[in-house]
Structures are given as structure tokens and as C-alpha cells.
Structure 1
Amino acid sequence: MSESLRRGLRVLAALSDEPATASRIAESHGVSLSTAVRLLQLLTEEGFARRDETGKYHVGSQLLQVAYHVVASMDVREMAAPILRELNTQTGQTVHLGYFENPTVLYVDKYAGRSAVQMYSQIGMPAPLHCTAMGKAVAAFLPEAERIALAGSLDYRMSTDRTITNAEDYLRELDTVRQQGYALNLGEHEAVVSAIAAPVKQPDGRVQYAIDLAAPNVVVGEDELRAFVPRVLAAAADIERVLGY
């Protein structure tokens, strides 16, 4: 590694800890002021640093973008696993991790509940967006134009007498999800199963992943299901934290 590159990386590491002036960088890194200024100017030109009105340098948006792509490339399933496992252990209910793959959401991980009545969901199985809590949780946080386009494209296949069957009602439901921060499925996909889902939000507010907690209606009533909402929201927030969101 060249000495100039090494110095540049060290400067970036220092700026990630706290903003600093060129003179402070020169002093802390044992280089001349002209060398520090040259390094900082280069980093600024490339978007890895920015200079504020007081003369201090901060990390730039390009570095944040690189960091975001690094996080995005990590195995989300692996990083979320301990949190999902804990939620499953705490509640005794089935817990899923889902990935948004328009026009469905795919189950990418599952922890089965302790009840004798088991969910038929399987890893890799697609779930519809209009009648599952997971589907609503990912669709609700699409940009408005995409959300409206999606609502207009779904076929709204009726699975139970509680299934949403038109775009107007679906968009109204997504508005509710956005306002309350979580989604419910009260027997809309399978009459005997209900679920709560929470989005795992990216820094830009979009949602690629969501988690849900599902339970048989004969085991968990609606009030008891709603009592799990804080735990599901907390688990989603914990996943966002470990992903660096």
C-alpha cells in the first residue's frame, strides 16, 4: 500500500471519529499542513470528505454510500438470526424473515412456534403482498408513486372472507401501516392464522426486509396477538441496529 493511500485512509478514520481542521489533521498525523490540506482537498473532490463553514472537515456522502453498500452485501439472514431466535423463544410463536421480491415477499428464514398447530410456511415460499402482514409491511414503505402502481397491478386473489380485494382498500390499509409502523393480518391469508409484521427500514426509508410473528387463531386471540406488537417492533429495530441502519 502506498504511503499516500495509507495516510488518506487514516485521515478518513479520524474524520469518522470527529470533524477536524486541516491543522488538527496535520498535527495528529505527523504531516505538514500542506500535505494535510492536499489530502483533504483530494478526499473532498472525490466526495469522501466535506468542509463546513468553520473550516472543519467531516466524512462525505460518498463514504456513507460505500458503507451502505458494504452493509447491504452482508448476509442479512445471518445477522438477524439471533434476534429472530430470541423473539421466537420469548413468545413461543412462529417468526419469519421476509425479503421483498415484487410482486411477492419471500420467506428467507423461519423459526417454528411451540404450538402443536404449525404454520405451513417454508423458507423460499412466496407470500402475497395484499393479504399477509409481511407483504403489507414491505409495500407500505414504497415511495408513493410506486405504492400506487403496485396497488393497481395486484390481482387481489381472495383467500378468505377477510381478504382485501381492491386497490382502494389496499392503499388505505397501507396508509394505516405507515402511520402505526406495523402491519396486521387477521385471518386474511389463511382463516386460521393471524400475524404481525414490522419493516426493517433502510437509511433511505425503503424496506427490503420485514419480520413477522404468526400464530394460529385457536391458540392466540386477537388481543393477545396485539400484545406482541412491542416485541416485534423492538426486534425489527434491533435488526436495523445490527445492520448499521
Structure 2
Amino acid sequence: MSESLRRGLRVLAALADEPATASRVAESHGVSLSTAVRLLQLLVEEGFARRDETGRYHVGSQLLQVAYHVVATMDVRQVAAPSLRALNTETGQTVHLGYFENPTVIYVDKYAGNAPVQMYSRIGTPAPLHCTAMGKAVAASLPEAERTALAAGLDYPVSTERTITNAADYLHELDTVRRQGYALNLGEHEEVVSAVAVPIRQPDGRVHYAIDLAVPNVVVGEDELRAFIPQVLGTAADIERALGY
């Protein structure tokens, strides 16, 4: 029975990559055609596979329901923690996980850096969308209509001389973020803090979270901050893989 279960799981994983006929399943899994047909028929009966009019088998709705339930109950903070901790250790800089809650992003996790200058951010505190790297990262990932409506509805309070102060400039900045895949905050929220942020996509493609690497810019210059970008992008990719994106 355990071997049959193992074979069934392997077939499901293969169908998730590419639909296949029974003969193709038999060939690729080293079983007889009759065994492949019986296995596929059982998966169809239980809703984990479906057969189309051409005779090819696809993953079924039951598998999708199970997957979506797992994703819906997944604690993103817990999943992201090992990757965020590793980024913090590798760089020595402060790392955050943020959750998008219009019209702010909420810090939900933090790993403090080892620089002599520490930043004020605390878990549970909100940060503005228009002048933080995480805020830009999540806002840039919204569908165009939502992005435009969001930009039109913000108040754009000024924090520093670098703060974006209007919707047109903000939308232009978000276009840049979308093209390059990451967002920068160069002293726009706090004069002494800069950051790079990357959105975290979940299996449905939506973005509710972002991560950032924040530095005291009196210690770390812009060039050095930009040098961290590949590591932040890599960390985001690791988290997305762990979430099943």
C-alpha cells in the first residue's frame, strides 16, 4: 500500500508540471499501462485528477482545494523567518517583514542589525506607503486600477526633503519599482535611514507582504545599500518558493 501511495503522489506531482496520457504516465513511471490506468482512475474518482476529451489527465479540483486551504492557513511570518534570519546574519543589517493594510504597511517581524545606530521600527507599528521601501514594493504590485486609486487617495505627509508629495510622482516611482523588481527608500521617511524592499508573491499571485533591508545611512552609503539588492531579491525568492508560488 505504501508503494502505491508513493506512486500516486509522484503521478500527481508530474501532472502538476504537465498533463499526460495514461501511456505517458506508464512510460515515465515505469509501470504497466493497466496499472497507470487504474491509478489515474482512482485519482479521478477522488477528485485529485481529471481526464479531458483528448485523453490527457490534469490535476483535479480536489487537489487545488487542498492546496489553497494549506496556503490560506499558512503563517507567512513563520515561513519567512528562516530566510529573514539568514539575510540578517549574512548582512549584519536590520531586516523587516511587512503586511499591506491599506493605507499603510505594518511591521510584523524584525531582525535588528548590529550597527551602532539602531532604528525605531517596532513590530506592530504602521509605516506609510508613499515614503517607505516596503510601502512602495506592495503598492507597485497592485493591479493598475487599484494602484491608481491608492495613489489618488493618499495624503502624502512630508517627512523629509526627499519625500514624494503627490500622486503623479508616486505613480511614476511605482512604475520604476515594477520594472526593476525592488523599491528603494533613500532617506524619504527618516533622514538617517535608507532601505531596499522586495514584494512577496503568494500562490495566487497577489502581494500582501514585502521584506526590506534597512540601514543607517550615516554608516552605510547608497552604493553599499544597492550592493545588498541581489541578496534581498534572493531572500524574497526563497520565501516565495516556501509559500508555493
Quote the residue 2:69 is aligned against: 69
- Whether the 8 Å contact between 1:182 and 1:196 is mirrored in structure 2 is yes
Amino acid of the residue matched to residue 44 of structure 2? Answer: L
SS of alignment partner, residue 18 of structure 1:
helix
With normalisation by structure 2, the TM-score equals 0.84
- Using the TM superposition, give the Cα deviation of residue 71 of structure 1 relative to its aligned residue in structure 2, in angstroms: 1.8
Quote the residue 2:29 is aligned against: none
- Whether the 8 Å contact between 2:98 and 2:134 is mirrored in structure 1 is yes
- Whether the 8 Å contact between 2:202 and 2:243 is mirrored in structure 1 is no
Quote the residue 1:203 is aligned against: 203
Amino acid of the residue matched to residue 179 of structure 1? Answer: R
- Whether the 8 Å contact between 1:15 and 1:57 is mirrored in structure 2 is no
Query: CA 1:58 to 1:128, structure 2 compared with 1: closer, same or farther past 3 Å?
Result: same
- Using the TM superposition, give the Cα deviation of residue 11 of structure 1 relative to its aligned residue in structure 2, in angstroms: 9.5
- Whether the 8 Å contact between 1:15 and 1:58 is mirrored in structure 2 is no
Task: Please say if 1:16 is aligned against 2:12.
Answer: yes
Task: Please say if 1:40 is aligned against 2:44.
Answer: yes
- Using the TM superposition, give the Cα deviation of residue 156 of structure 1 relative to its aligned residue in structure 2, in angstroms: 0.4
**Where do 1:83-102 residues align within 5 Å?**
83-102=83-102
Alignment partners' CA distance in 2, 1:230 and 1:30: 47
- Using the TM superposition, give the Cα deviation of residue 181 of structure 1 relative to its aligned residue in structure 2, in angstroms: 0.2
Alignment partners' CA distance in 1, 2:117 and 2:106: 22
- Using the TM superposition, give the Cα deviation of residue 222 of structure 1 relative to its aligned residue in structure 2, in angstroms: 0.3
**Which whole-Å deviations, capped at 9, do the CAs of 1:172-225 have from their partners, x for residues lacking one?**
101100000000000000011000000111233321111000001111000000
**Which whole-Å deviations, capped at 9, do the CAs of 1:68-94 have from their partners, x for residues lacking one?**
331231111111111101100111100
Quote the residue 2:177 is aligned against: 177
SS of alignment partner, residue 89 of structure 2:
helix
Query: CA 1:138 to 1:62, structure 2 compared with 1: closer, same or farther past 3 Å?
Result: farther
Quote the residue 1:5 is aligned against: none
Segments of structure 1 that go 5 or more residues without pairing to the other structure are 1-8
**Where do 1:1-245 residues align within 5 Å?**
13=9, 15-19=11-15, 21=21, 27-28=34-35, 37=41, 40=44, 43=47, 48-61=48-61, 63-245=63-245
**Which whole-Å deviations, capped at 9, do the CAs of 1:133-171 have from their partners, x for residues lacking one?**
000000101011101010111110000010001011101
Alignment partners' CA distance in 2, 1:125 and 1:15: 46
- Whether the 8 Å contact between 1:93 and 1:113 is mirrored in structure 2 is yes
Alignment partners' CA distance in 2, 1:234 and 1:16: 29
SS of alignment partner, residue 124 of structure 1:
coil
Query: CA 1:38 to 1:217, structure 2 compared with 1: closer, same or farther past 3 Å?
Result: closer
- Whether the 8 Å contact between 2:134 and 2:198 is mirrored in structure 1 is yes
Alignment partners' CA distance in 2, 1:161 and 1:60: 55
Alignment partners' CA distance in 1, 2:42 and 2:204: 32
Alignment partners' CA distance in 1, 2:220 and 2:71: 36
Question: RMSD of aligned C-alpha atoms?
Answer: 2.5
Amino acid of the residue matched to residue 232 of structure 2? Answer: V
Alignment partners' CA distance in 2, 1:243 and 1:114: 29
The number of residue pairs the alignment matches comes to 230
Alignment partners' CA distance in 2, 1:60 and 1:161: 55
Q: What fraction of aligned residue pairs are identical, expressed as a percent? A: 74
With normalisation by structure 1, the TM-score equals 0.84
Query: CA 1:26 to 1:38, structure 2 compared with 1: closer, same or farther past 3 Å?
Result: farther
Alignment partners' CA distance in 2, 1:70 and 1:51: 25
